[in-house]
């Protein structure tokens, strides 16, 4: 009989812990969502590529290799790999990927269909890249499509993070 009385108490205590845990997860998700919203609206973030989807060939995981696109109000700096068909070769062989620094670009941001944001960046001072289309979820996951003049389009999946300050040596 005594065991039967303690079971409801144990269930009540366990339910309280589970409820507190669910509330904490919701708070963390809201906090992360607010952080991503702040980064996107301030135009001060980094897209870190984790995988690449060329038009031809296989999908490749590239996370941890330092491939990214850094966005600020006055600069877009891209360091991404390229796999696919190029219609003309670059003059400088060391510039084989999607590497550029743009200070003159159009930046449009609009709400996404399922939450998040759709961002279009059109560099005006870069010859090869026509447009970067970045689709960002509220959780910080992002998809980037790069349209080029002399290459097939290519897509990347990754995450949005805040810029890290560079330490002085």
Indicate whether 8 belongs to any domain.
no
Indicate whether 75 belongs to any domain.
yes
Closest by Cα among 157, 158, 159 to 140: 159
Indicate whether 82 belongs to any domain.
yes
pTM of the model: 0.77
Indicate whether 73 belongs to any domain.
yes
pLDDT tens for each residue of 94-148: 667 889 999 999 999 999 888 899 999 999 998 889 999 999 999 999 999 999 9
Domain count, the chain: 1
What is the spatial distance between Cα 19 and Cα 72, in angstroms, rounded to a whole number? 40
Domain at 64, CATH number: 2.40.128.410
Asked whether the beta carbons of 154 and 146 are under 8 A apart, the reply is yes
Scan for tokens 């990347």, then name that residue. 156
Indicate whether 149 belongs to any domain.
yes
Asked whether the beta carbons of 102 and 124 are under 8 A apart, the reply is yes
Indicate whether 22 belongs to any domain.
no
Indicate whether 19 belongs to any domain.
no
């Amino acid at each position: 009989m005594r065991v039967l009385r303690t079971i409801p108490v144990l269930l009540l205590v366990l339910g309280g812990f589970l409820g507190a845990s669910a509330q904490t997860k919701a708070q963390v998700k809201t906090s992360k969502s607010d952080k991503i919203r702040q980064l996107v609206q301030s135009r001060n973030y980094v897209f870190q590529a984790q995988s690449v989807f060329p038009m031809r060939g296989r999908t490749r995981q590239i996370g941890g290799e330092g491939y990214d696109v850094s966005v600020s109000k006055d600069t877009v700096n891209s360091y991404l790999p390229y796999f696919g068909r190029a219609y003309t070769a670059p003059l400088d062989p060391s510039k084989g990927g999607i590497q550029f620094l743009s200070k003159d670009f159009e930046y449009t941001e609009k709400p996404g269909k399922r939450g998040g944001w759709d961002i279009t960046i059109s560099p005006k001072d870069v010859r090869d890249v026509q447009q970067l289309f970045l689709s960002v979820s509220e959780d910080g996951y992002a998809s980037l499509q790069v349209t080029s003049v002399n290459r097939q389009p290519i897509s990347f999946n990754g995450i949005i993070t805040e810029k890290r300050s560079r330490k002085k040596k």
